[in-house]
Amino acid sequence: MKYFKYLFLPIMVLVIGITASCERDDICPESTSTTPSLIIDAFDIDNQEDVKNVFDLVVAGIGNNSVLPGYAITRTANLILPLKTTEDTTQYVLINEATINDNGTPDDTTDDFYDGNQDIITISYTREEVFVSRACGYKTIFKDVEVVVETDSDNWIQLIQPVNNPQSVEDETATHFNLFH
């Protein structure tokens, strides 16, 4: 029965193997609901039940040098706007019927800008950090969300209304605001 002592080694190797292989499962699955974006649907101001596309739409965050990905001259009735988790307001400029102005230099794209009807919206909210899971950590949810259109001489956005009052943005399952134009 001196073999008894030799049983140690294989079992030891087995145990170390099991613990090493099972250690990391810390990847946040894509299906998990984390920090939500604000969802706005566009409707016709004259026929408020009808969805109406915004043509040649450009969306860019104020204070951000790049256009929101997916919104560089597009036709859509559905806006998905990420909100800043570091501040209580996020501002976007929405350009209707945008065209690229090459600034007189067709070969140089670095000084291009968008022409069109610009409307600025200010989204204000209060933030709350909610624990999701060990892999995803915390998400931010937004409460008492308000969207205000900055008045100018020629607003293409007639009205933005929350779906609920007060409106919170906790997930991306439903529209949060309706835009009429």
Partner 1 sequence: MKQQHILTYFISSAFLLLFCVSVNAQNDSIPNTVNDSVKIKQKYGLRVGADIGKLIRTAVDDEYSGFEIIGDYRLKKKLYLAGEIGVEEKNNATDYLDITTKGSYFKGGIDYNAYQNWLDMDNMIYFGFRVGASSFSHTLNSFTVYNTNQYWGGQLSSDTPQEFNGLTAIWAELILGLKAELFTNLYMGLNVQLKVLASETEPGNFQNIYIPGFNKTYDSSRIGVGYSYTISYRIPLYKKDK
Q: Which residues bind partner 1 (CB under 8 A)?
A: 1, 4-5, 7-8, 11-12, 15, 18-19, 22, 25-26, 28, 30, 34-35, 37, 61, 64, 66, 68-69, 82-86, 90, 127, 129-140
Please choose, from the candidates 88, 92, 91, 90, the residue with its C-alpha nearest in 3D space to the C-alpha of residue 143: 88
Q: In what order do the strands lie in the sheet with 177-180?
A: 78-81, 38-43, 177-180, 159-162
Smallest separation, CB 133 to partner 1 (Å): 6
Smallest separation, CB 6 to partner 1 (Å): 10
Nearest CB to partner 1, comparing residues 66 and 153: 66
Helix ranges (H only) for the chain are 8-22
Nearest CB to partner 1, comparing residues 8 and 106: 8
Nearest CB to partner 1, comparing residues 66 and 151: 66
Nearest CB to partner 1, comparing residues 45 and 80: 80
Smallest separation, CB 3 to partner 1 (Å): 11
For residue 3, which amino acid is it?
Y
Nearest CB to partner 1, comparing residues 102 and 137: 137
Pair of tokens at residue 131? 């624990």
Residues in CB range of 135: below 8 A, 6 or more apart? 25, 26, 27, 28, 29, 32
Smallest separation, CB 75 to partner 1 (Å): 21
CA distance 45 to 159: 8
Smallest separation, CB 102 to partner 1 (Å): 25
Number of Cβ within 10 Å of residue 125's Cβ equals 23
